[in-house]
């Protein structure tokens, strides 16, 4: 009788002990998981300053810095196709429209909530600004605007710059410059 009771207790203890989560939480780190080994508690280690990964030396001044011979680039570093503009529109609507609004007048939702209004893209100074200017501001920030270099990739920054040109044209085109077939569509709607 005593022996069978002992067995029962052992079995219950065994079941309770087996309720561990070792397989659920294995000794490796998921992205951004905490690690008490380091003083700052991060398992994802910050890069040592000046680190350059293989193949990421990024020497192309035009593509990566938006400059040619130290001056803001007046051209795009790659061909702007319809798909680049579509991508630019998508990225603009995600990252820029909250403040600059979808047309670029600088009255987005965040501005309506009290953020310092950015200038409209439809002023002469910005209509005449070279593409490199927009790339530079996205990459390095300006005034109250933080930089978006971690959030928006290099090619996407150029796509957004190109799309800003589209927005500017959309608000500042003489009726004579609109192609006849587009005009027909517009007037029938």
Q: What is the per-residue DSSP string for 89-147?
A: HHHIIIIIHHHHTTTSSS--HHHHTTPPPPPPSSSHHHHSS-HHHHHHHHHH-BTTBPP
Site for another protein in 54-83 (CB under 8 A): none
Site membership for another protein, residue 34 (CB under 8 A): yes
Rounded Cα distance, 129 and 166, in Å:
14
Give the nearest distance from C-beta 157 to another protein in angstroms. 13
CA distances from 115 to 108, 109, 127, 155, 166 (A): 9, 9, 23, 28, 25
Site membership for another protein, residue 24 (CB under 8 A): yes
Binding track over 102-131 against another protein, x by CB under 8 A: -------xx--xxxx---------------
Q: Which stretch binds another protein (CB under 8 A): 12-20, 28-36, 79-87, 122-130?
A: 28-36
Residues that bind another protein (CB under 8 A): 23-26, 28, 30-32, 34, 40-42, 93-95, 98, 109-110, 113-116, 144-146, 150-151
């Amino acid at each position: 009788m005593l022996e069978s009771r002992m067995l029962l207790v052992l079995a219950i203890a065994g079941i309770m002990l087996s309720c561990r989560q070792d397989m659920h939480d294995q000794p490796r780190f998921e992205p951004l998981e905490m690690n008490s080994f380091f003083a700052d508690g991060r398992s994802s280690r910050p890069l040592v300053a000046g680190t350059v990964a293989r193949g990421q030396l990024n020497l192309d001044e035009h593509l990566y810095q938006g400059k040619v011979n130290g001056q803001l680039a007046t051209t795009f570093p790659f061909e702007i196709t319809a798909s680049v503009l579509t991508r630019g529109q998508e990225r603009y609507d995600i990252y820029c429209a909250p403040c600059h609004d979808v047309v670029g007048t600088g009255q987005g939702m965040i501005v309506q909530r009290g953020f310092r209004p950015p200038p409209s893209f439809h002023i002469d100074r910005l209509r005449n600004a070279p593409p490199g200017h927009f790339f530079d501001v996205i990459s390095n920030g300006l005034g109250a605007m933080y930089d978006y270099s971690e959030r928006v990739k290099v090619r996407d920054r150029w796509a957004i710059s190109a799309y800003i040109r589209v927005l500017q044209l959309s608000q500042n085109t003489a009726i004579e410059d609109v192609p006849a077939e587009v005009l027909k569509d517009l007037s029938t709607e």
